[in-house]
Amino acid sequence: MSPASRPPARHEVPEVDAAALEAARAADRLLAAARERETERWIRYLSPLPDRLRDDPLRDLRATARLCRAAFGPKDSVRDTLPGELTEPFLEAGDRLLKAIARWEAHRG
């Protein structure tokens, strides 16, 4: 891959980086609640997400954001176990991240 075709470093796309960091903070809060309630299923699922949201390069960030969204499945949802004051901000932050990625991809050509 030539340097011109490589995606920029994540910090070079501040809108995406800020949205990912916001989602990471929401994931931290949700994970803390899962640990407090000892919900092993959600502890396992949520554990890698905060660090991935903070550290993933742009090329991997969409997949991580989709994992956040997948926690709200129709048959198995984090909403069924953890409080709405934590799940809804997590969902909204993940959606904002997906939108920021889509806007960046649309404008980069």
Give the mean pLDDT of the chain.
93
pLDDT tens figures, 34-61: 999 999 999 999 999 999 999 999 989 9
Q: If you average pLDDT over residues 71-92, what whole number do you get?
A: 96
**Domain locations in the chain?**
13-108
Q: Angle CA(42)–CA(43)–CA(45) in degrees, nearest 5? A: 60
What pLDDT shows up at residue 108?
Answer: 80
The residues, ordered by sequence, that sit 6+ positions from 1 with a Cβ below 8 Å of its Cβ are none
Which pTM does this prediction carry?
0.91
What pLDDT shows up at residue 2?
Answer: 55
- 6 pLDDT band, cuts 50/70/90, is confident
